Chains A and B, each alone.
Chain A
């Protein structure tokens, strides 16, 4: 006992003091203090014993079964753009585990939500390495988040060897430093092609308008770094030849870009721009955009504008269930590959399960952003780990990843090994000698275009990949006005 004096016998000054004194007396002299002390000691001991027992149980279980290969997924789960790849990665892990896992070990996908904020992403990345002991940390998709995590990963790599996989992030900057200091940054891989390599895709779009007889068109792009490079000419470097800009390419076909504008990402207000386009005499609109942009808002404002009868081609930003999201207002819009590619993929992917069947079985949406990255990445990792003889030796795994090839839903998935920035450790998509050239023979990728027609049905406007057997032709195209009349 700390207090030896008896209960206070002082005269009470007030009712409040009296109450306080009574509580003190009860506490110290009627056993409250000792009881609490004993209870506290008992609780601490019990907690310790339980922890030790739990630890022993877990250790025994872990010993009985091999530890899983942990793949941490750092993404913005507040956005559908982050939830979908996570769902597909989990399904891929399940499929791999059901097929026997990787060298007797299961894949375990853990998710860390970064809410699209670099500071939270860095925290999540740290937890992925320290708490989850992840072998691979996949980050999706914004480049500034990947770059922030990359800097932290570089600090942590010597103590926590792992693989950083930039999923869906297109910025060339991610892989610049690997060439400068290979030993420090060799663990960084980017499962996207370079920005320069995308230019030919957008030329295909101009070609399509050319086939439709369009002479004047408007060119819109979301105001992000990657589209700027596509919009403008890419100067020649010692690694690749110069690329003409999309407007210059149109000019070479005898077409004219009568309206150009960079639109703020998720601008929300497009009506004035659409009115300006209508006034410019444009016959069609090409909108270069990406997943996550508010293309549904754009479409809704388009059908209520003076530009509603113009040909409309929106690339990249269509995402999943475009028809439902716009309440059918997307009727007549030409879209990029999002909803089309998985149909192709089911026909020629020997190493990755059929995505259409998988999507149906697990009630998942398919979109090109995931088909090109998160889903096949898992099968790529499986193959690389098997080739490396395990996932514990990260140096061996890096080497194996540099040598592994997998045929994914959108074609070949392989990382560039020629030490030229920004291609090194990025996905092979084009000839290294001329990245502005489309290389079907190497990548198997193709920017198919289709039009959304009655009831959301997509018709192909281009001759598809040889052997796939999809019926596609420019003759199937109907103008938006024509389709609306048919409703």
Chain B
């Protein structure tokens, strides 16, 4: 499991402010969602792949671990659309598969380069996201690794009570659901205590919160967003010129 909930290693892409990255993701998402051809996602995806080293994703095994479900999903989308389209066309199918990857990869890049705390800082400072919700979410996020660590203990605890699933898949699902419930009870209790602890440190005081770390926007952030826009523009232009362009809401 890719447990990227703690502090993230510093990579070149970390120097781009999270809100600039999110803006870029927004641009890419809108452009790809409205394109049903193969050329646009191919060009955008190529540009995204160029950013992999900047996000520290140079180790192929690490990259595969982060993306294999995504690649499978893309393949499945491609196949389904070819099999079920009224006029089956492998190029459309491949285009849709590339589109899925093109949509998903920016998220992988963001996660690999952005610390959740910095993300919360940037969201609250630049986009006016409520500090109470942002840092409340951050506090809850800390509990995720604890849940994962507790999972094994709770699973073993079932056996000590005479409960195990063996090879019966229905029993396995029931067992898993039971383990999940036990974990959830613990997490909700812990969350309630955490809220008390946060209030004891003035989280609910009504005073306007300051931010000790800050979050600065640099010219490079603007350039990053502009470059993203440029890549998308090039992609769409090439698509139109080659005659492949097929926007989703027209014809």
Whether both chains belong to one complex is answered with no
